[in-house]
Amino acid sequence: MLEPLAGRLKWEKTIQGIRVAIPVSRNTFALLYGPLVLAWIVIASIHYWHVLMVPHPDDDQFTLQMIAMLVYAIGICFFLIWLAFTFTGETVLFLDSAELNLQRRVLGIEVASRSFPAGQVKQLIYISPHRMAVSRSIIDPNSSKIQFRTGNGMHSFAKGITESEARALIQAMIKANKLPNI
């Protein structure tokens, strides 16, 4: 059973090491974008329902309407994928004496995985958020991350993590005593 570690992070000690669940960072954009797209879906659905229900001649205008409906259906698919990722996405970190494994999950289903030998993980650091390119006065909280070096380059995970969550996570990783080079 996962227990709270810090902030949004949940963890558990396993026989081999530790497992940490790091949810995707949600921002206020999701709270604005979600209802806006839902309103668009409702309005467009009503419009296209009426287009399909009335008799129509086989002409170019109806063909264009069908193409628009296809684009609309593709847009709904992208929206549903974004919604699933935003509200159920997480990175799960598995750390034992042999390897550091990072899994990306959406709806609890693994969609990507990366593994690194634990003996090669070095320089585990927190990268604080930086200012947005559009406006230098606004700090982008989703730009923070934890970064580490292995033999084949720099890698990062936990995008959008806060400093207190990063400290707790790094401490848990060190306390598990599974990363010899930190």
Residue with structure tokens 């996570």?
169
- With contact defined as beta carbons under 8 Å apart, do 101 and 117 qualify? no
For residue 74, count other CB atoms closer than 10 A to its CB: 10
- With contact defined as beta carbons under 8 Å apart, do 131 and 139 qualify? yes
- At residue 20, the pLDDT reads 92
pTM tops 0.95: no
Per DSSP, helices labelled H in 7-157 are 28-53, 60-88
Mean pLDDT per block of 10 residues along the chain (182 residues) reads: 84 88 79 81 84 76 84 88 86 90 93 90 86 66 86 89 89 76 62
- With contact defined as beta carbons under 8 Å apart, do 164 and 170 qualify? no
- At residue 40, the pLDDT reads 84
- With contact defined as beta carbons under 8 Å apart, do 130 and 139 qualify? yes
